[in-house]
Structure 1
């Protein structure tokens, strides 16, 4: 279940937190697996600018949002400038090669088409370097936005944040008057110095608190349930699952639940993970399989066909991530296509 009202409330809170900046929305990877069409529609009244990763994502989003600004974070491939213009997509130029190709394309077309320019301020991923700034194609560029990305924004005490901020200020000074964007979800909470003219929340829209102090402010927008397929009574000493890694210490009721690692519940969640039924904790037993997992339902009244909670009030996707030794981003985007998604106005 996806709570669309929670997504709107989270965006409103982030927009208020960064009140002097435009609050865009990053809805790449099918809105982090939640559903691009539905998330874009629920934010359409308040968001003017969206970000996606690939041109094809931008084309899909354009069909839902004919009037919005859409930036493509990966820019374009050599054969795609026409594609970008056809669908009104704004490439984020990440290399000298892209800058030169876009310049040549615009010159051949006889007009300037909008583009953003990304700086590499220390992450060594996307963006042009300080040395690249001397290139004539960069000097001639008239970007509609300059941007960069923070490597350690979820660690406020890390000095890399201040170092990247200083580098961004230096590089963006070469484009006076051009709007700037540095902060994504975690970066927003580093404070006003990181907000500039635009912030770009993504995962925070769905309730993942990038910093501990924001847990109370952001609302989880995701709920996930799975069905009990089988319940059996086992004896002391009985082993469970692949590798027979779990051995019952006494007589138990064990439920087989129809969800597994093909659905985004990682095998590592076997170590200390649990599902829930109301306030009843149902520990995972043994290894998680591709399509199923086992939980302890001893002492409960659960029966075959009942639904149990994977993600909900008792356990957010961020908490599942911690138990599985990963990050909330990976859990959310890994939720498989076999789930039926329900969109509701809960709040």
Structure 2
């Protein structure tokens, strides 16, 4: 096989949801935007629904339509981006629940889809999505009279438990929502781990479902094995790859693998990341190129047919740290050339 092999462990995904659900102590939804964080939204959502999730969040209405096709009727699909111009037919047809973010969106929803379910998103300090307190104060009575499904906000620093922003946003969210009779939501994965005072009526785990930090107990969901095209002997003093960025300090065996930055393996990992052959570490030597990696397999017994980039020994956050990014980006950039297998479907 000439492409990398990506395995999505759906049983691990479901176990992660159950673990976060137990920590939540309230209803627990699932965030499946960006094609289920790159893992395939249809299979991901069906597995989570079977595990018990009844509410799902996506970023935009178009994602919600695709998710409805995968899930069928029943589960509630909420749209973080709210009701954008031109979305009315998609929202109606797929039975979506837009999380309205502005006065304009409230007007659009009430005019185009009177009586259709909706939610409200409030800004508690992140300054990204949601109505600010003054706008909410002006329309809260009217909006609440229409019985929204949910009122929510989002934490900016939940992955840093001691950050003062967490307590500040919790205080603000309570200030602008205490006393309402509508279910409330503030916590995604990081918020769940902050403790019960952040949980309210519904939590919305995302990255933790897929094996990412800050959920340290998460089981790895994504496994990536890359095939070896050829192995060559490289003498001391010879260089490997574009730009001569790595020079052999001893005689080595270099395997060329079929994967590169076109497959989501960022060039920032050049000369930095380690792949694995069983228990044997195999360092990447030279630059990541579009379709190829060059890896030191000198210490391997025999000639490996493939090496593992993501798996039990190395999760998405290890790669993210080496690349100077976050696990979310590693997951959502997984390439489309990989052959895929769903374990536990």
- The two structures share one fold, judged by TM-score above 0.5: yes
Deviations 1:163-210 (A, max 9, x none): 000111111136x11000000111110000000000000111112131
Tell me the CA shift for residue 313 of structure 1. 1.3
Contact 2:13 2:210 survives alignment (8 Å): yes
The equivalent residue for 2:3 is none
Deviations 1:11-47 (A, max 9, x none): 111111011x100000001100001111111112301
Give, in whole Å, the separation in 1 of the partners of 2:280 and 2:289. 23
The equivalent residue for 1:159 is 164
Contact 2:122 2:152 survives alignment (8 Å): yes
Alignment of 1:293 with 2:297, yes or no, is no
User: Taking structure 1 as the reference length, what is the TM-score of the superposition?
Assistant: 0.93
SS for the counterpart of 1:189 is helix
The equivalent residue for 2:37 is 32
SS for the counterpart of 1:337 is coil
The equivalent residue for 1:281 is 281
Between 1 and 2, higher relative CO (CA 8 Å, sep ≥ 6) is seen in: 2
- Provide runs of 4+ in structure 1 moved above 6 Å: none
Give, in whole Å, the separation in 1 of the partners of 2:255 and 2:183. 55
Q: List alignment gaps of at least 5 residues for structure 2.
A: 1-6
SS for the counterpart of 1:29 is helix
User: Taking structure 2 as the reference length, what is the TM-score of the superposition?
Assistant: 0.94
Tell me the CA shift for residue 60 of structure 1. 0.8
The equivalent residue for 2:191 is 187
SS for the counterpart of 2:186 is strand
The equivalent residue for 2:177 is 172
The equivalent residue for 2:333 is 334
Alignment of 1:51 with 2:54, yes or no, is no
Alignment of 1:2 with 2:8, yes or no, is yes
Alignment of 1:67 with 2:74, yes or no, is yes
Q: List alignment gaps of at least 5 residues for structure 1.
A: none
Give, in whole Å, the separation in 2 of the partners of 1:13 and 1:299. 38
Task: Choose the corresponding residue for 1:88, options 85, 95, 100.
Answer: 95
Tell me the CA shift for residue 271 of structure 1. 4.1
SS for the counterpart of 2:265 is coil
Give, in whole Å, the separation in 2 of the partners of 1:122 and 1:100. 24
Deviations 1:137-168 (A, max 9, x none): x4311321000110000000000000000111
Contact 2:275 2:307 survives alignment (8 Å): yes
The equivalent residue for 1:133 is 136
Aligned runs of 1:137-286 on 2, under 5 Å? 138-141=140-143, 142=146, 143-173=148-178, 176-210=180-214, 214-215=215-216, 217-286=217-286
Give, in whole Å, the separation in 2 of the partners of 1:134 and 1:24. 27
